[in-house]
Chain A
Amino acid sequence: MKRYLLPGVLVVLALAYPLLVGDLPVYGRLGALVLLAAIGASAWNIVGGYAGQVSVGHAVFFGFGAYASVVVYTHLGWPPITGAPIGMVLSVALAAAIGVPTLRLSGHYFSMATIAVGELVRVLSSTSDFLGGAQGLGGPAMPRTVFDLSFISATPFYYIFLGVLTFLLGLTWMIERGRMGFYLRAIKDSERAARSLGVSAGRYKLYAYMLSGAFSALAGSLYLCMFGFVDPESGFGILISVKMVVMAALGGAGLLFGPLVGALILVPLEEFSNSLFGGQGAGFTFMIYGAIIVIIARFLPSGLLSLFNRRSTRHVD
């Protein structure tokens, strides 16, 4: 019974959070922002953490999701959320197109190739009139129906994001437990050894990449629904890719709850330091943010969860 106590308390806390902070819109929104960041980082975690393929170009998928949502609104007048499945399907196809040439690369070469592809897509998106060019595109200015998801309160977003994250983590958990998870870990430890055992490394890496891309796109669509605007920088910018990596790595990459823990630390840190120091215009926000990341990396290079989860230290290469 006792071992269910802590998880139980955490689940209740997660469900009740919006009610606890009901009168403080900033905190309600903060909860939603944490969950949204956790969705993106958890999606990245499938290929970056479990399979050990460190993509620094996941903004490509995030941007595809965001743009798919805003494009169905702009060109067809549909509610943005209807673009989510379109963005996910497109991202799976795109992941195949990017993954086939790049996933053969090892280590840092893969990371650099994904950066290049990300920048490529960003530049191209800014030249496309269909995507609103460099000006970007805005979602519905005023809500038309409830399906536009233009809520004043962040609470509906919170529960939508919580649902998506739960689904994604459940799926990841199943993969982790199943054959694919076994293969991915084998590939991460030693691709050559995995191949010699008959694992089709290329195929499983690609599956992981496609799945990861699909959920990154979903994160992008949800972002668009909440913020109502995307331009090349906020959709495809390299900072979006880097933040996904940093969040997962900070919490513990390749661990189910690693990205969520990373988001729980970094998102409030970013918001609070900006709220406290941003107005002075002296750059303290990012000095503090950077320094805390450095300190965590210095003392816990395998992520925060390595403190509690001794098993994770085994994965250190």
Chain B
Amino acid sequence: MNYLQTHNRNAFSQRRGLWGSVAAFVIIIIFVQFLEPHFLPAIFTTFARPFWRAEFSISSGSLRSPASLLNQNEELKRQLADMTVRLETTQSVANENSELKTLLNRPSATATNANTATSSAAAALLSLVPSKYTLAAVLKRPPMAPYDELIIDLGQDDGVAVNDLVYAPGNILIGSISDTLGQTSKVALFSSSGMTYDVLIANNSNPGNNSADLKPALFKSVPAVAHGLGGGQFSVQVPRDIVVNVGDIVTVPSINNKTIGIVGGVITDPAQPFETVLFTSLANIYELRWALVDTKTDSVINVANIPSRTSAAIAPVTKNAKK
């Protein structure tokens, strides 16, 4: 007598095998990641990098016609001439700045930079020279890259290390290296959600007749703690009595005053003793195509409240071991 099969043992064991292999796969990945954290990122990045580079080249205009490239070249030459004039003006201001620092017995450019703390003003200027930066192409940026990070085409082979500072063109501080592989690195933007930093909000209000308004701008800077909101946005809470205006510059507290953003809005609630200041990075990270990596100094930003992230000092510290 034949009976209908009530239980398909074969299908059951197949399902169990499938779940077993998925579980084994996940356990192997966790194990590999635990032992060698760069193994999986290096493998997948090796495959993805050529596509990222190709995409970057295409977006940079590599496939344009020679005529349009020549036109662009001319336009860039004109812009360069214009920028050279502006740079000379900036350099004269930088010279004046270093002379003033020398007069005030602060010849070094940074507060704790022992190696550059020489007596000449030239040492102060030296750290302002952009040649210490290494230019990097931004291969991936938000919103396509998640976690509010950039992927740049410089890695350990180029001398990039974790915690190196990253600037947008124009010397705008935007983030620091969070992880580095052979030829690519991940840049954690300071605006990443959940990150907090010490900042100074420089009051730009016009001085009035009151003699207190004639104090130097340095004394009008408001110290505060900035919270990253993601996408180049930050928020700060300050007491309501402190006057903060739209357009005020936000800097990282050090003698170099690295600009981090500009105030875009102030939210005041009469029922609250604090007002919320919203500021945004001066560089548009969604359109960022180039970045400058400071491979000679370590990270700056005082990370006050980031779960399991490395805290670093406020002032840049010269790397003795590197280069």
Chains A and B are bound partners: no
Binding site for A on B (CB under 8 A): none
Binding site for B on A (CB under 8 A): none
